Amino acid sequence: MKNSLKFKDLGADFFAHIQTQRLENPSLIHVNQNLKQELNLSITDQEFLEICSGDKQLGQERPISTVYAGHQFGYFVPQLGDGRSCLIGELEGNELSLKGAGTSPFSRGADGRAVLRSSIREYLCSIAMQGLNIPTTKALAIVTSSSEVYREHVESAAIVTRVAESHIRFGHFEYFSSLGQNENVKKLANFVIKYYMPDVKQGDYLGMLREVIQSTAIMIARWQAQGFSHGVMNTDNMSILGLTIDYGPFSFMEAYDPGFICNHSDTQGRYSFERQPSVALWNLHRLADTLKTLIEEEQLKEALSMYEKILVKEYSLLMRNKFGFAVQDESDNAIINNFLELLYTNKKDYHQSIRLLSNDDQSSLGKAFDPWFKDYRKRLKIETEDPSQRRALMNKVNPKYILRNYLAEVAIRSAEDQNEYAEIDSLFKLLRAPFAEYEGYESYDSETPEWAQNLELSCSS
Ligand code: AMP
Ligand code: MG
């Protein structure tokens, strides 16, 4: 099998070879078949299982774990690295990474494992983000096992196979910069430009930074428009390609609340929903700090000043699409903001409520929304598209199905308690194309039921 990891070209300072550690009785519980096909992985099911559980190498490739640093909750940690993940090879220009296949020199005393619960969440969210057109690492397969791991309780160990063009993070740059190894910073920048930024000329480090700023701003704009909270926006969880990476205590917002904090461990709300845009900018500043020997200070500043404009432009475009505004009008922002304000004061579900707009259904939102609907209908009169066309376009950006925590929890419980995986399959199907409506799945857009009101998510995974 032809297969070689470009990352290894960077040299021994950047990674360590590792040996994956086997799980007891591994079995596949779900496979992203389309992705498997895209990767041209024509091997037997048995071989596929062995590769995804770390029992067999991909071709001749020896797995590696990479070293990086990062600002965690604002504080610099000089060495983190792939403590429980490793790159196992490359197919069709995509790196394959196992998360949970055992320890590496960067495990810092932890067990190198991932629990089934968080692996299912990562697997489902990866497909949900793709469905919503939000850049993300992908997930190829999920393996469970009878190996036990210890978190707050004993849990099953699992492995998710992640797929991305590159898993390089801001933290990779920070690691070498903090050691004063500026030659390695330069080497890494050259590598990123050469392989991942076809539009940037070799040696154009400013061009590279601009690309990172651009793709990060677009990613964050889409998070904000689709109500996604990442939960742990440390610089080691920021992809150099602007992909959503490292799914932990993430949540999609339900009742609209800008101050929403999805991570129970984030007591200060550093990573609350409304702070995500400014945190990403802060993170970009930390990346820019590492490039000071390659880019003039003034140019760094100028590049960083582009961020807000790109983000606002993308966010406005998405929000205008969500409300069905194709024609520009100066009242648009006010109408959108007034609606969000009403959602907040009336504790209404973000996704369901906006989806209702396409059906012009104001009855289920209640009396408080009547004056707003009057303004909205008046505003829509200047639109030139016919209403049915407009609704169809709105329904392409307003999802019917969202990965609500309780839905993931139902799938997790049946997997953990009954070794039943049908629920994962159902969610996978709905979330990969969440704008369509599926017969027989009417209840999957329902709000959180009573029993799941107090589900808590933390960094434990
Ligand atoms: P995360 O919050 O999952 O992004 O992880 C932060 C850092 O801790 C990364 O360097 C991870 O590789 C490492 N880490 C998290 N959980 C484990 C674990 N169970 N074993 C080894 N390293 C871990
Ligand atoms: Mg991480």
User: Is the domain of 282 the same as that of 386?
Assistant: no
Taking residues 229-241, report their average pLDDT.
98
Residue with tokens 């369509």: 436
Nearest CA to ligand 1 atom 11: 83
Contacts of residue 185, Cβ cutoff 8 Å, sequence gap at least 6: 173, 176, 177, 290, 291, 293, 294
What is the dihedral sign for C-alpha 283, 402, 26, 3?
negative
Q: Collapsing DSSP states into helix, strand and coil, what is residue 349?
A: strand
CA–CA gap between residue 131 and residue 78 (Å, rounded):
36
| Amino acid 160: pLDDT | 98
Q: Collapsing DSSP states into helix, strand and coil, what is residue 312?
A: helix
Nearest CA to ligand 1 atom 2: 459
376 lies in some domain: yes
User: Is the domain of 389 the same as that of 367?
Assistant: yes
- Single-letter amino acid, residue 331: S
Best residue among 15, 75, 84, 235 to mutate for probing ligand 1, ranked by most atoms within 8 Å of CB? 84
460 lies in some domain: no
| Amino acid 358: pLDDT | 86
Query: Whose atoms come closest to the Cα of 81: which ligand?
Result: 1
| Amino acid 454: pLDDT | 85
From the list 23, 122, 106, the residue with the least C-alpha distance to 64 is 106
pLDDT tens string 256-286: 999 999 999 999 999 999 999 999 999 999 9
What is the dihedral sign for C-alpha 176, 178, 181, 186?
positive
User: Is the domain of 254 the same as that of 352?
Assistant: no
User: Is the domain of 11 the same as that of 160?
Assistant: yes
330 lies in some domain: yes
Ligand 2 centre to CA of 173 (Å) is 15
Lining residues, ligand 1, CB within 6 Å: 80-84, 107, 110-113, 232, 237, 246, 248, 459
Q: How confident is residue 2, by pLDDT bands cut at 50, 70 and 90?
A: low
User: Is the domain of 305 the same as that of 389?
Assistant: no
Q: Read off φ and ψ for residue 268, nearest 5 degrees.
A: -85, -10
Residues with a known catalytic role: 236
Taking residues 126-131, report their average pLDDT.
98
Ligand 2 centre to CA of 359 (Å) is 40
Last residue of a domain, one of 394, 413, 445: 394
What range does the domain containing 376 cover? 324-394
Last residue of a domain, one of 317, 348, 380: 317
For the chain, the average pLDDT equals 96
308 lies in some domain: yes
Taking residues 326-337, report their average pLDDT.
96
Last residue of a domain, one of 270, 293, 317: 317
Degrees (nearest 5) of the Cα angle 173, 176, 177?
80
CA atoms within 13 A on the CB side of 248: 18
226 lies in some domain: yes
Which residues have CB atoms below 5 A from the ion given as ligand 2?
237, 246
What Rg, from alpha-carbon coordinates, does the chain have?
22
* Both tokens assigned to 113: 């494992």
* Both tokens assigned to 370: 């009547």
User: Is the domain of 141 the same as that of 259?
Assistant: no
From the list 103, 67, 62, the residue with the least C-alpha distance to 84 is 103
CA–CA gap between residue 382 and residue 389 (Å, rounded):
15
From the list 447, 67, 38, the residue with the least C-alpha distance to 253 is 447
Please check the confidence at residue 3 and state whether its pLDDT lies above 70: no
Contacts of residue 107, Cβ cutoff 8 Å, sequence gap at least 6: 83, 84
User: Is the domain of 271 the same as that of 357?
Assistant: no
Q: How confident is residue 458, by pLDDT bands cut at 50, 70 and 90?
A: confident
Beta-bridge partners for 95: 90, 164
User: Is the domain of 190 the same as that of 237?
Assistant: yes
216 lies in some domain: yes
Q: How confident is residue 1, by pLDDT bands cut at 50, 70 and 90?
A: low
pLDDT > 90: what percent of the chain? 95
User: Is the domain of 371 the same as that of 234?
Assistant: no
User: Is the domain of 12 the same as that of 142?
Assistant: yes
Q: Collapsing DSSP states into helix, strand and coil, what is residue 145?
A: coil
User: Is the domain of 127 the same as that of 56?
Assistant: yes
Please check the confidence at residue 457 and state whether its pLDDT lies above 90: no
The neighbour count for residue 315, using CB atoms within 10 Å, is 19
CA–CA gap between residue 172 and residue 178 (Å, rounded):
10
Nearest CA to ligand 1 atom 12: 83
User: Is the domain of 280 the same as that of 356?
Assistant: no
The better pLDDT of the pair 203, 450 is held by 203
Please check the confidence at residue 88 and state whether its pLDDT lies above 70: yes
pLDDT tens string 369-405: 999 999 999 999 999 989 999 999 999 999 999 999 9
pLDDT tens string 165-214: 999 999 999 999 999 999 999 999 999 999 999 999 999 999 999 999 99
Total domains present in the chain: 3
Atom of ligand 1 nearest to the CA of 114: 19
What is the dihedral sign for C-alpha 336, 341, 346, 351?
positive
Q: Show binding-site residues.
A: 81, 83-84, 99, 111-112, 162, 169, 237, 246
Q: What's the predicted TM-score (pTM) here?
A: 0.97
Ligand 2 centre to CA of 233 (Å) is 9
Contacts of residue 121, Cβ cutoff 8 Å, sequence gap at least 6: 247, 250, 408, 412
Query: Whose atoms come closest to the Cα of 175: which ligand?
Result: 1
378 lies in some domain: yes
441 lies in some domain: no
Query: Whose atoms come closest to the Cα of 118: which ligand?
Result: 1
| Amino acid 246: pLDDT | 98
